[in-house]
Amino acid sequence: RAVQLKKGAKPRRPVACNYLHFCLPLSHTIVRYELHVLIFRPFGAGPYSYPSRSRLNRPAAGNKGLPSWGAFTANHTRKASDMTSLPRLVAFDLDGTLWWPEMYMLDGGAPFRRDKASGAVYDSANQRIELMGDSGAVLAELAGDPKWADTEVAYVSRTEYPEWAVPCLKTFLVAPAEGKSKGDSRGGGGSRSGGRSMYDISSHQEIYPGSKLTHFRAIHQRSGIPYEDMIFFDNERWNITECAKLGITCVYTPRGLTRQEWEKGLADFARARSSSP
């Protein structure tokens, strides 16, 4: 039955509500404290405080601790200049590994032009294509360093726009004009005025849709280079997994070719060659 309240009087809270209003926060506090004791007390932390980083990272008695990552890499990673075992063929994917954007992303495509002042490359819709990471420096090293004189360069791409990729290769300049161009093993190539292009410094251009196993088998048949003497850089994991089955040293470059991945790949190749019979 409804209860009539006097004018100005406040309604009273039921007794059960008063009990819950008092006990629920109290129980919550008790649970928090018990969890704190179980989790943080072993680390020596005070009430409602987190264990200090120095306490958690402190090595156990008699343990001098692990070396830092920088010290580890300095002691266990060799630079490419220190290696005596170099691949006879260096292969690169194009889209997402050496340049960006990918060919299918372009609005205009061929013909491409190169800005003489900046060296940048643009398609027919004036969209800029850029070399990723350290791609330009690595390609220049392959073209100009005498230690790579006996190594062939290959481009292995599954793009559906080879009619754009090949002219783009011929537009990017990566090395000075002096020196003999390797060109295409099937003919073509040659130096361009002002420098040598990505196309000029390569010996193989396998640029068409399909499995990259087909691309590498064609290179192997034409060049006679064993798969074990090849190294391949690609930004797609499935290409790495697939081509590694042939015995090629494959290097995953998810954000384009970098100097770190280049050095790591050469170290992996040298290690694989030294362990092979």
Quick one: three-class SS letters along 170-208?
HHCEEECCCCCCCCCCCCCCCCECCEEECCCCCCEEEEC
pLDDT of res. 8: 56
Number of Cβ within 10 Å of residue 165's Cβ equals 24
Encoded tokens for 109: 């495509």
Quote the domain boundaries for residue 267. Answer: 85-275
- Phi, psi (deg, nearest 5) at residue 204: -140, 135
Q: Are residues 94 and 147 in the same domain?
A: yes
Q: Are residues 203 and 108 in the same domain?
A: yes
Q: Are residues 27 and 161 in the same domain?
A: no
Q: What is the pLDDT of residues 216-251, one digit of tens each?
A: 999 999 999 999 999 999 999 999 999 999 999 999
Q: Are residues 19 and 113 in the same domain?
A: no
**CATH number of the domain that 139 lies in?**
3.40.50.1000
Who's near 122: CB < 8 A, 6+ residues apart?
112, 113, 114, 115, 128, 129
In a domain, 118, yes or no: yes
pLDDT of res. 12: 57
Distance CA 169, CA 183 (A): 12
Report how many domains make up the chain.
2
In a domain, 4, yes or no: no
- Taking CA atoms, 167 is separated from 123, 151, 170, 193, 199, in Å, by 10, 23, 5, 15, 9
Q: Are residues 158 and 232 in the same domain?
A: yes
pLDDT of res. 128: 97
Q: What is the pLDDT of residues 74-114, one digit of tens each?
A: 333 444 444 458 999 999 999 999 999 999 999 999 999 99
In a domain, 152, yes or no: yes
Q: Which of 34-48, 185-199, 234-248 has the highest mean pLDDT?
A: 234-248
**Residues 176-202: what's their mean pLDDT?**
68
Q: Are residues 40 and 103 in the same domain?
A: no
Q: Are residues 218 and 163 in the same domain?
A: yes
Number of Cβ within 10 Å of residue 247's Cβ equals 14
pLDDT of res. 104: 97
**Res. 188 pLDDT band, cuts 50 70 90:** very low
Q: Which of 217, 197, 198 is nearest to 206 (CA)?
A: 217
Q: Are residues 206 and 266 in the same domain?
A: yes
Q: Are residues 37 and 145 in the same domain?
A: no
pLDDT of res. 275: 80
Q: Are residues 100 and 217 in the same domain?
A: yes
pLDDT(187) > 70: no
Contact 182, 201 (CB under 8 A): yes
